[in-house]
Chains A and B, each alone.
Chain A
Amino acid sequence: MKNNIIYLFLGFIALLQGCGAEGGSKSEQLAVDQTQVLSESPAGCIGDCASGNLFLTVSDIELIISQAVAEAQARNLKATIAISDRVGNVLAVFRMTGADEFITISSTANTLLDDVSGGLENVNIIPDTMVAISKAITGAYLSTEGNAFSTRTASQIIQENFNPGEDNTPSGPLFGVQFSQLACSDFSLRFNPLSLPSAGPRRSPLGLSADPGGLPLYKAGTPVGAIGVITDGLYGLDKDINGFDLDNDELVALAGTYGFAAPLNRRGDVITIVGKTARFIDAVVSDIISTDAMSFSEINNNVGALVAVAGYYDGKQQGLSADRNIHRVVLPGTAFGQPSSGIVPADPSIFKNQAGESLDAFIFVDDNNNNRFPARTALDTPNAELINRLTQPEVQEILNQAISIANKTRAQIRQPNGSQARVSISIVDTQGNILAMGRTRDAAIFGSDVSLQKARTAVFFSGTGKRENAPADLLNNLPPPLYLAALAEPVNLSNGLDLLPSPKPKFSDYVNALQLFIGVPDALEKEGSYAAFSDRAGGNLSRPNFPDGPVKGPHGPLSKPKGEWSVFSVGLQSDLVYNALIQHVAFVLGAAPDVGQNCTGNTGLSNSPFSKQNTIKGLANGIQIFPGSVPIYRGDILIGGIGVSGDGVDQDDMISFLAVHQASLVLNNGLQNAPSDIRADKIDIPGQDTRLRYVNCPQAPFINTDKSEVCNGL
């Protein structure tokens, strides 16, 4: 025992530094891994630091958990702690004895805000492990060598106003991102009990989390994973960011990160989005009250234990029984950029620019190091003619153009200033089949699944006039979301589950509302007139206030009215995936099989529970409602879509839009962006005097030129 005691001297450091600002950054600096950063840039890692020997080792993870547990004990809290690597492999889930095993989802608990009903709000049967894992994966997926973001950052950028609490301002830039990386996604690779942590990206059990207490972990300047902590039984977000929020989840997570904290010059609080710095953490190192931590072997199976989570983690001991919990072990993470992580450099002979120079691109690979999404010819027949479909060379050209433009684009969310934008790119056909996916160096992981959602969303909503599988028909045929009612506390699952009597939305309601709202009665119908919906345009219709921001406005037709809207119940986006999400919760609880790889068409807790009914193949991983995608046309025929995600939303918009434009110039065969006259910004919305946006390319878009007007007229 004595040998292994790890003295952190945190209290001593706090004493030395005092509590003033001057001390703040010094003691924060001590929480960062002191290993020398190996980067070609003197300003720190710029995407070039990840290497085969930078990953979370078993002893790293044990130390992190020990530190977090010590803080939880010092604060008399019972925590559930999850550790993931950068690509979402769950490396440990540690539950302190007595921790709440059921978590309530609520955006309004402990606030003066009116209660919200419907969606995931008030669902109180969520396993603590799902919450902790979601928080860890969020911290990992949002962070890169250029930016360290946390679940607190997520909370700030997904709400109806940005900043939250600033009345009437437009919504957060990543409005809707919480419904990505879903358990039902067809993109994410799933945990395999037979193998060690391996190729990702993995799914996140509840999507991305906005509940403070998920922090990234860094070694030598590169992100190697994240920690997620839940202690308070509540899965929510921070609605009031006016002050400093001392959150127990976050304090425990912060203690865990000691020695692995994000570099100070990469944290969200030195990164601005429209001039506002991102929130990274509200607590500081000197808030930590634990002074030493016991070794992991002392706390494991003592103050708590590693626990298995179906679909995510078994610690080499299959099965969920308590006796097996005492044998579980912590698993080492993967090294990012190595084949085992599922993300590797691309072949420069394929990913090259016009001059033949390497684009420094990256691809997604499986456990056997095979490119999962090489460019291929489309599987659809747009306008009933095969000749219209996207071809393999066209797909590769668009993808290469996108990466090439991203490399020239000024990053909005990365340090140092003037960095290249780092994004993931997906190209799909009109059925939502993946035609190619690729990445730039060091793009944030969350953008992989999101870029696919975005591409599919643009294609789906631009599908008016499709003779087969018109979007209105597909939506109208979906089984409705069946909202769970909160169980009486304390939760006892054996009493069964009840459904909420109201609200009970139907998907046809959304279709009708959309048609009425935009004054196009045949929108989304098979006989309808064409309209090209970028994700920005569709996103305009998915905000709780229309146009985005002012509370005076009506709610967008794809959103929900006051009293029903929250980040846990955003409208069509969340309703599409609701039943599948609940099935996954039931699976983790051991009450149902795991959800399939399509988020739509799930019957939910109906008489034939969790069966598939009219799934929409083209929306298999759900839709996305923040900007960064455009549909692709040949002449005026819809042939596919491109989605871009990972940097600022204006950057994502521009890269997708200009990639198609540049490809059209190179290919010169009719492939192009939507003809200007059918873009959604031409729709005259009745009684609104407001038009939708198609794309918004950023100010100062490129790194090496001061041109600013780069999209107008294209």
Chain B
Amino acid sequence: MGCKINALLFVIATCVIGEISAAEVEVDLDVEEKNTTTIVPANLLCGQAEKVTNRRIPGRVVDEYQLPACDDEKIKPWRKTIELGPMMPDRWRIVEALGTETNLFDPYAGHNPLKGDLPVWGKDWFYSLIAISDSVVEPRNFPVPVGGPTTSRPDSLDTIGDGDITIFSQNIILEHVVYKGDTVYRPPDYEFRFTTVFNFNQVHTDERGILNIDPNLGGSAGRRRSDRFLGIQAAFVDKHLRNVSTRYDFDSVRVGIQPFSSDFRGFLFQDSQFGVRFFGNRENNVFQYNLAWFRRLEKDTNSGLNDVSQGLRDDDIYFANLYWQDFPTLGFVSQFSVTHNRNREKGQVEYDVNGFIVRPSSLFEERFSKDYDVTYLGYSGDGHFGRINLSTSVYYALGEQTSSRFRDAKDEINSFFVAAEFSIDFDWIRPKFSVLWSSGDDDAFDNKAKGFDAIFENPQFAGADTSFFIRQNIPLIGGGSVALSGRNGIIPSLRSSKEQGQSNFINPGLQLMGIGFDADILPELRVSMNANQLWFDDTSVLESLRQQSSISKNFGQDISASLIWRPYQSQNIVVRLSAAVLITGAGFDDLYGHDYTHPYSILANLILTY
């Protein structure tokens, strides 16, 4: 049955597509020649004769229709011709003629050369500047080691210490865009984008040995670290290769450091990396495609930004995906993807700027960095079925990696990931239900890696960065210098570092079930809440790393709430305040002790955008 419906839909789709194609011949693409000097009075548009007009309705052929007769009994249309003065070749000169003045500080002033409102060179080269200040203050608490060779305080006799940590982070983002083309309808012919992010960060801890491998480095006896970094988050050239239809379906190529997301929610990969991407669309944007190759940049440890001063990593990612609008039903977009991650970092040893080893991971054999080849077969969907909204991703990962246990041997990688968020809108409130299953490995020593790991996740899911578990990187104390999950990561992949480490397919995996809502209680104010129950999928990897038996799967309940206040109902000023707490489960207690209570995370964020 399902098969039939699909087939039928496919036929309809091809029909429509066929007709549009037939109409293409009649369409005059040269818009610029149609400059008129007058506005034609409406009465001239009525009459008895049959007139042909170029009216376009998506999905239909050029329409011929009968103009209605003019009816003097009704309101009289304007009968005079309005002289518009000299012909204006572009709209910005109209704005200028109307007397709007340039105000470089007002991004909304209709005449701002910094915002691409008029060309800066020639007649179709525009410049746009985006400047963002992003400030974060983040007090948080979760278990940390008390220190190895030394401690902050005397009488620290146990392993797990006081996990109060406060982070301050300030980003100044400057994004420069230069492009050639029309600013309205047509995709630009060329686009050059250059984005720099300057980051200053400062971290305070109560315990030592967390911020740097040398417990004496940094201020306050190794308990404060300040760092700054300038990262290049975009530096690309985009060439519009060609249009392939009257609807500006196109092919483009983009070369350089560019943002890319593997799916709707950033489960597999969401990052700005160096690469080459061919992309475009077909059939009036029904299909969109990406063919991309990325070679990853090293990241700066404390800012997470791209570090172009170092050579590229021996890590290639190949993406091929196809988005299909209104498939399988109207209002739902499906995406099919094949992603291949080829890592050739075997034998390398890499430390982060704080002196901690990141490749290989300080875990199990720690013999050398491994090579791995992983192919992710994915399906993602986003949209709605009737009133039910659904956003989902499913990945199956298969491949192999160098075994670090046995010489010249390989581990087989075989893992999966499923996530779905269901929601329904009632006026101003959207309740949500989330489920996620990231497979875990059931035996760390069997040469079969069954834990799922992403390439570079940034999941917008189940509360995202307001959630405690997703936001925070809780160290697996006594089980290797790794965190359960990376910062802004949901998969407990036990990587040395989300940014600098390698994927780890020998991990406990996760199961999540959550409820939540987004409520727009004022036009300026959104309130969200999420409650997620977290279970490890399989704790045997944790048991091996911690030499512990029967660690419970139940990690706990992650409860979070956030306020987003946009005083001008725009993105120019956004204030976010969120708080999350982990109600610890038996699995957490097994790892960190039941005497450790209420890990929490608070996030205050101010974003100012020009």
Contact = CB atoms under 8 A, between A and B. Distances in A.
Interface stretch (B130-138, B310-318, B418-426, B542-550): B542-550
Contacts of A552: 214, 216
B409 A21 contact: yes
Contacts of A712: 155-158
B346 to A, nearest CB: 10
- Chain A contact residues: helix, strand, loop or mixed: loop
A20 interface: yes
A391 interface: no
Contact of A22 (B150, B408, B447): B447
A549 B547 CA distance: 24
A21 B447 contact: yes
Contacts of B366: 163, 166, 276-277
B363 A275 contact: yes
Given A21-B406, A706-B590, A711-B157, A272 B150 contact: no
A243 interface: yes
A27 to B, nearest CB: 11
Interface in A225-279: 241-244, 269-272, 274-277
A698 B591 CA distance: 11
A691 B154 contact: yes
B506 to A, nearest CB: 12
Contacts of B215: 547, 550, 690
Nearest to A279: B365
B548 A410 contact: yes
B347 interface: yes
Given A20-B409, A284-B407, A418-B550, A697 B158 contact: yes
Contact of B481 (A275, A700, A713): A275
A132 B475 CA distance: 42
Given A275-B482, A547-B149, A712-B156, A703 B216 contact: no
- A interface residue count range (under 10 / 10 to 19 / 20 to 34 / 35 or more): 35 or more
B590 A697 contact: no
Interface string A522-559: 00000000000000000010010001111011000000
A696 interface: yes
A411 interface: yes
A605 interface: no
A604 interface: no
Interface string B546-558: 1111100000000
A439 interface: no
B594 interface: yes
A275 B362 contact: yes
A698 B145 CA distance: 10
B465 interface: no
A707 B594 contact: yes
B192 interface: no
B551 to A, nearest CB: 9
Nearest to B355: A168
Contacts of B411: 21
Nearest to A680: B154
Interface string B115-154: 0000000000000000000000000000000111111001
Given A282-B407, A682-B154, A708 B149 contact: no
A277 B406 CA distance: 13
A700 B591 contact: yes
A19 interface: yes
A5 interface: no
A548 B146 CA distance: 15
Given A20-B410, A243-B367, A417-B549, A708 B595 contact: yes
A5 B158 CA distance: 58
Given A549-B213, A682-B154, A275 B545 contact: yes
B480 A275 contact: yes
Nearest to A705: B594
Contact of B547 (A241, A412, A690): A412
A243 B366 CA distance: 10
A692 B147 CA distance: 11
A543 B593 CA distance: 31
A700 B221 contact: no
B385 to A, nearest CB: 44
A169 B213 contact: yes
Looking at A242, A412, A417, the one whose CB has the most chain B CB atoms below 10 A away is A417
Nearest to A242: B368
A696 B158 contact: yes
A170 interface: yes
Contacts of A271: 547
Contacts of B548: 410, 417-418, 700
Contacts of B362: 163, 166, 169, 275-276
B567 interface: no
B10 interface: no
Given A413-B547, A417-B547, A700-B591, A274 B479 contact: yes
Nearest to A167: B351
Given A275-B364, A275-B478, A703-B549, A708 B592 contact: yes
B160 A270 contact: no
A274 B209 CA distance: 15
Contacts of B477: 699
A694 interface: yes
Given A242-B367, A242-B368, A411-B547, A694 B214 contact: no
Contacts of B593: 699-700, 706-709
A170 B149 contact: yes
A714 interface: yes
Interface in A661-684: 676, 679, 681-682
B167 interface: no
Contacts of A169: 213, 357, 362
A121 interface: no
A410 B551 CA distance: 13
A410 B349 CA distance: 33
A270 B214 contact: no
Given A21-B447, A657-B157, A699-B159, A706 B407 contact: no
Contacts of A456: none
Contacts of A384: none
A418 B411 CA distance: 27
B78 interface: no
Q: Of residues A19, A170, A411, A550, which shows the largest number of chain B Cβ atoms within 10 Å of its Cβ? A: A550
A157 interface: no
Contact of B159 (A25, A411, A697): A697
A505 to B, nearest CB: 24
Contacts of B213: 167-169, 549-550
Contacts of B214: 168, 549-550, 552-553
Given A412-B547, A693-B151, A706-B586, A242 B347 contact: yes
B406 A166 contact: no
A274 B586 CA distance: 22
Nearest to B592: A708
A708 B157 CA distance: 11
B589 interface: yes
Contacts of A550: 213-216, 355
A710 interface: yes
B367 A681 contact: no
A708 B406 contact: no
Nearest to A688: B216
B547 to A, nearest CB: 5
- For the complex of A and B, the 7 pairs showing the least CB-CB separation, nearest first, are A708-B593, A275-B480, A418-B549, A21-B409, A548-B149, A711-B157, A550-B214
13 contacts: A21-B447, A163-B362, A169-B362, A276-B366, A413-B547, A689-B216, A692-B150, A693-B156, A694-B157, A706-B586, A707-B594, A707-B595, A712-B155
Given A269-B365, A417-B546, A709-B160, 13 more contacts: A22-B447, A25-B447, A167-B351, A272-B480, A275-B364, A277-B405, A547-B215, A693-B149, A694-B157, A699-B477, A700-B593, A708-B596, A712-B158
Interface of A: 19-22, 24-25, 163, 165-170, 241-244, 269-272, 274-277, 282, 284, 410-414, 416-418, 540, 543, 547-550, 552-553, 648, 650, 657, 676, 679, 681-682, 688-700, 703, 706-714
